Amino acid sequence: MSHAARGVTQRRRVLVAQSEINIAIAAKPPEVSFRELAEQASGGKKRYGGIDDLTEMQANLHMSCVSDTLLQGEILACEDLLERRRRLMALEIKAGFEGV
């Protein structure tokens, strides 16, 4: 399987898992959810999926074009978060095209 195909397959798996995680996160304020994610990634109680390693959690957020600064408590206003995510998505797309 090519590198690109593996990436697509991995992203599909993440999307399925994210549906369940999104339901668990939806009722909580972002500062609570991301604090709990950071605790989980540091060996704490698993609340959202099975990632219990900080490096893996950061890679997962990066793959989803979500800033890992959220794990450090940097909760942005919605528009600022969306702007940052758009920039991360643009960089991801650019990197994909450069790899072709």
d(CA 53, CA 11): 19
Return left, alpha or beta for 74; rule: phi > 0 is left, psi -120 to 50 is alpha, else beta.
beta
* pLDDT value of position 90: 95
- Mean pLDDT, consecutive 10-residue stretches, the chain (100 aa), reads 59 57 76 90 89 91 90 90 93 88
Using CA atoms, how far residue 2 sits from 7, 54, 98, in Å, is: 9, 27, 16
Q: CB atoms < 10 A from the CB of 61, how many?
A: 20
* pLDDT value of position 84: 93
Closest Cα to residue 50, out of 79, 87, 21, 90?
21
* pLDDT value of position 25: 73
